[in-house]
Amino acid sequence: MSAPAESKMGIGGLLRRLLPFVTPYRWLLVATLTLTFLGSLMAQVNAVVLDRAVDRINALLHLEGGFQWSEAARILLVISSILLGKEVLAALVTFGQRIFGEKIRIHVSRDLSLRVVDRILTFRMAYFSLDGNEPGKLQTRIDRGIMSLSNTVKNFFIDILPLFTSAVLALVLMYAANVYVGLVATAIIPVYFWITALQGRRMKGWRHRVFGTHQQLSHGILNIIESMGVIKSFNRQRVEAAKQAALQEQSTEQQMQTRRISFLYEGLKTFVEQIGTVLIIILTAYLVLIDYPGMSIGKIMYHVMLFANVSAPIRQLHRIYDDLNDALVYAEGFFGILSADQEVETSGTYRGPGIQKSETSSQKSVQGRFELRHVEFTYPSGTHALRDLTMTIEPGRTTALVGLSGAGKSTIVNLLDKFYQPDSGTITLDGIPLQEWDTQVLRENIGLVLQKNHIFSGTIEDNIRYGRPDATHEEVLEAARRAYIYDQVVALPDGFGSNALQLSGGQQQRIAIARMFLKDPPIIFLDEPTASLDAIATEQIKNSIDAIKQGRTVVVISHNIGQIIDSDMLYVLDTGHCVQSGSPAEVYRQGGLYKDIFDASARSMNVDKIAMTTGISE
């Protein structure tokens, strides 16, 4: 998805989705709410004190005996003591309230991060092939989702609750002092909220556009970093910079439009707030002038300050409302990941002969006989990769898959490893439908070496041990020797403690092969295993692979004749169909696609000239 769909989640729905992440910290929540209530009570102290102070000072000025400095000093001392003492206590309460609220926010942010990581690790591979789930865009959805949701927790427990608790208390005090003044203050609030709601509806579409553009920017930058070598080799720096500049220009215009709309409505809301203040002053002054019961000069200051406490959340509402609307946009994408139950990778219960679900699986329980019958498969992108495919992979033998690029060879490996499910047809392993096999057990029994293998950030030893986490140091070293990477690693300054990401492409390929040797599985899938290696390394690895093939089920994909010519069985694929099968010699004698590929490969290696050079032709 290039841009998110219109959000159907409201603020109430957002808070309900967040509640399960907040409730584990209920005691922190209770402490925060208690301190919030105390802070709100103290926020009204200034208005009450000044109300009394103004009336006392006014009375002091009109004493029959004249102004008394001693009484004035006593009044000022009492006022100062109360106000300063209140400020000290309020500072402590605010500190505690913010610390507890921030602790909730940090813990919720951590839990959201852990939950989404746990979730995406359960997804089937097809999820990551969907449009909009590219690494950069998915990372943006997760990062911005966590950021906006943690800000929502902060806004609610640290900002909104104190402000609105204070506003409610201030409004109660205004009604207690005078009903008419309380009604005027109350009448201003729905007008302000109505304007805010209009602002939210007006800006919703623009927020989604901004979010979509941010995803494209993040994905574009990630793509530039990953493709830097290609960009520089073709001198396309300006082209890529122009693409990003166009996106940045689009993002700038979208952000400016949202700011223009926001500033327009904020100015209107500020105007409404000031009208409320003016009306409060005029009404209170009028009531004082007509000598309304309970009204005094001090009440003018009293009502103005209380209305300031009522309008404080109104002044903050536009910022908080903006943040909440941003959270609605980003949270929908984030919670969409958490609620994508249909994307969770399914796992069967069969764990091999005599192996129960609760028991530890044994690699000996898997023989390795795969049967594919009339298999159809289409990638989420719409690419129809396999068409009515039927083949058998015999246990303990080497089966080679041959074909031009895009023929469906790697797709077969993806299906056999349960990365994807076929659209129709059946796949069985040892006579059991593949979907009934426990996925973890299946993959414990499969060693996979790809043309491009991922190397994790960390040491070389840790990357090799990824094949079997409980392996000893000596076992890691032995796997490195079998992959012919040991001598190169020990020559590095930090040896096996060196950063694996600093290795060359060919060296990283050997690390991946070492992982497979360490895992020592009964089934091996090799997808161009020596594509990044030089000729000598290719021969070395081939010898090691030949040794490990013995007694195992091996599926090899390669354009290297030497990798496929000694296979036991050969399947030739063309646009998802199996067009030829048999031993390599038999299929070659049949002519057709395999012979064309074989002969073209021989010609590309200048076999005739090689023979003349080595004297083989004599």
Q: Are residues 189 and 76 in the same domain?
A: yes
The first and second tokens of residue 256, run together, are 């400016």
> Which tokens sit at 312?
């404080």
CA distance 343 to 318: 37
Pairing of β 553-557 and β 398-403: parallel
Spatial separation of the C-alpha atoms in residues 194 and 272, rounded to whole Å: 11
Query: For the whole model, what pTM was predicted?
Result: 0.68
List phi, psi (to 5°) of 579.
Answer: -105, -20
Distance from the Cα of residue 287 to its chain's centroid: 59
Residues 329 and 429 reside in one and the same domain: no
**H-run or E-run covering 45:** helix 45-61
Reference 14, options 202, 106, 151; nearest CA is: 151
**Same domain assignment for residues 243 and 385:** no
Say which CATH number the domain at 50 has: 1.20.1560.10
Residue 547 within any structural domain of the chain: no
What pLDDT is stored for residue 393 in this prediction? 94
Q: 380 and 326, same structural domain?
A: no
CA dihedral 254→255→257→261, nearest 10 degrees, is 140
Q: Structure tokens of 205?
A: 């579409």
Rounded Cα gap, residues 69 and 358, in angstroms: 88
What range does the domain containing 67 cover?
11-340
Dist CA 199 CA 262 (whole Å): 7
Classify residue 512: in a domain, yes or no: no
Burial of 59 (0-12, 13-18, 19+ CB in 10 A): middle
Q: Within a domain: residue 78? A: yes
In this structure, are 307 and 424 located in the same domain? no
How would you classify the pairing of strands 569-574 and 398-403? parallel
565, part of any domain: yes
Q: Which helix (H) or strand (E) holds 287?
A: helix 237-289
Count the Cβ atoms, other than its own, within 10 Å of residue 513: 29
Place of tokens 């899938």: 525
Burial class (CB within 10 angstroms; exposed 0-12, middle 13-18, buried 19+) of 543: exposed
Token pair listed for 263: 């500033």
324/191 same-domain check: yes
Closest CA to 483 of 454, 452, 507, 459: 507
Q: What is the DSSP letter of 406?
A: T
CATH number assigned to the domain comprising residue 599: 3.40.50.300
569-574 and 577-582 as β-strands: parallel, antiparallel, unpaired? Answer: antiparallel
Residue 495 lies in a domain: no
Secondary structure (3-state) at 111: helix
Among 340, 361, 394, which residue terminates a domain?
340
- In angstroms, the CA 270 to CA 258 distance is 18
Crossing angle for the helix pair 473-482 and 505-519, to the nearest 10 degrees: 120
Kindly state the helix (H) or strand (E) to which residue 168 belongs, with its residue range.
Answer: helix 161-177
Q: Do residues 265 and 203 make contact, with C-beta atoms less than 8 angstroms apart?
A: no
Kindly state whether residues 315 and 374 are assigned to the same domain: no
- Domain-embedded: residue 186: yes
Q: Which residues of 254-276 are buried (b: 16+ CB within 10 A; e: fewer)?
A: beeebeeebeebbebbeebbeeb
DSSP structural state of residue 65 = T
Query: Are residues 304 and 391 located together in one domain of the fold?
Result: no
SS3 424: strand
Q: In whole angstroms, give the CA distance from residue 308 to residue 201.
A: 27
Three-class SS state of 472: coil
Other beta carbons less than 10 A from residue 54's beta carbon: 17
Q: What is the dihedral of CA 25, 26, 27, 29, to 10 degrees?
A: 90
Same domain, 181 and 319: yes
Same domain, 378 and 298: no
Query: Which residue stretches of the chain have pLDDT < 70?
Result: 1-9, 60-68, 200, 203-208, 211, 215, 219, 226, 233, 313-315, 317-319, 321-322, 354-365, 531-533, 605-618
DSSP β-bridge partners for residue 523: 446, 553
Give the pLDDT score at 2. 39
The dihedral through the CA atoms of 482, 483, 488, 489 has a sign that is negative
> Does 294 share its domain with 398?
no
Which backbone phi and psi does 401 adopt, to 5 degrees?
-110, 125
The predicted pLDDT at position 1 comes to 38
Sign of CA dihedral 490, 493, 499, 500: negative
Of 464, 412, 435, 467, the closest CA to residue 578 belongs to 412
Does 417 reside within a domain?
yes
Strand 569-574, strand 523-527: pairing: unpaired
Residues 283 and 417 placed together within one structural domain of the fold: no
Q: Is 141 in contact with 3 (CB distance < 8 Å)?
A: no
Residue 451 in domain: no
- Cα separation, 130 vs 113, in Å, equals 22
d(CA 531, CA 87): 72
How many structural domains compose the chain? 2
Location of structure tokens 């409302």:
321
Q: For 223-271, what is the HEC assignment?
A: HHHHCHHHHHHCCCHHHHHHHHHHHHHHHHHHHHHHHHHHHHHHHHHHH
Beta strands 424-429; 432-433: pairing state: antiparallel
Torsion of CA 25, 26, 27, 32, to 10 degrees: 90
Smallest Cα–Cα separation from 98: which of 136, 153, 25, 44?
153
